[in-house]
Amino acid sequence: MKVWSIVSQKGGSGKTTLALHLAIAASRQQKVLVIDLDPQQSAERWHAIRQRVTGSKDDPSIAAGPYQKLADMLRTARKLGADLVLIDTPPKLDKAIAPSLAAATMVLVPLKSSILDLQALEDCADVVNLARARSKTVVVLNAVPAGRNKDAVVRESLRYAGRLKLEVAPERLSELPEFSRGLKSGRGVTETERNGTAAKEITALFEALWARDSGDAGA
C-alpha cells in the first residue's frame, strides 16, 4: 500500500486541492483513501458535496480524524485493500507531521512561487531532514503562472529547492481555474475536462509519482 503525505508550512499552498485531484485520478484504477488530518476537514466537507452531486461514496473514500488515530486509520485502510492513501496534513508543521512522515512511502510538498512560499519551503526541508524523509520527498510546483515570466518563476523555484537539496517533480501544475472550479462541483478535472490541460497535467503527475513510488521511475 502506497502512502503519500502532503505537507506544507504555508497555508494556501494547495495541499487539499492536490490531494483530491490526485485521489480522483488514481481512483480510476486503484482503491484510494484520503485521510484528512486537517482540523478544518476541507477534504471531508468536499466529499459531502461530491456525494450529494454525484451520488458517489467510495471513489475516493475519505476518512477524517486527529493524528493520534492515524495508525488505526492506516491499519483499516490496509485491511480494506487500499492501494493508495493520501494524507492531507494541517496547514502548518505541527504534531501531526511526524507520524505522517513516518508512515509515508512518499512525501509531497506543493510549492507556489511567492517569496513567502519559497521561504516556507525551508521549514519543510528542516522537518523532512529531521525525520530522515528527504530521500522520499518530492516538491510539486503548483499554480505555475503562464506568460513571459513562467520560465523565470520555475527557475527561481528550482533554485530554492536545489539549495535545500530537495527533489522537484518535472511534472508541474499550471495556474488554471479548472482545478478549483471542478472541485466546487464535487468532481475532479479528470472527470470534468478529461482532454483539458489541467486533466492532462494531473494525470501526468500522478503517473510519474506512482512510477517513482513503485521503484520504476525512468525505467
Q: What is the pLDDT along the chain (219 residues), one digit of tens a residue?
A: 999 999 998 888 899 999 999 999 999 999 999 999 988 888 988 988 898 887 766 679 999 999 999 999 999 999 999 999 999 998 777 788 999 999 999 999 999 989 999 999 999 999 999 999 999 999 999 999 987 778 899 999 999 999 999 999 999 999 999 998 888 888 999 999 889 999 999 999 999 999 999 985 443
State the pLDDT at residue 217.
47
Looking from the CA of 33 toward its CB, the CA atoms found within 13 Å total: 20
Give CA–CA dist 178/193, Å, rounded: 8
Q: What is the pLDDT of residue 70?
A: 97
Q: What is the CATH number that goes with domain 2-205? A: 3.40.50.300
User: What is the per-residue pLDDT for 39?
Assistant: 84
Spatial distance between the Cα atoms of 10 and 29, rounded to a whole number of angstroms? 32
- Cell readout for 95 is 504534531
| pLDDT score, position 150 | 85
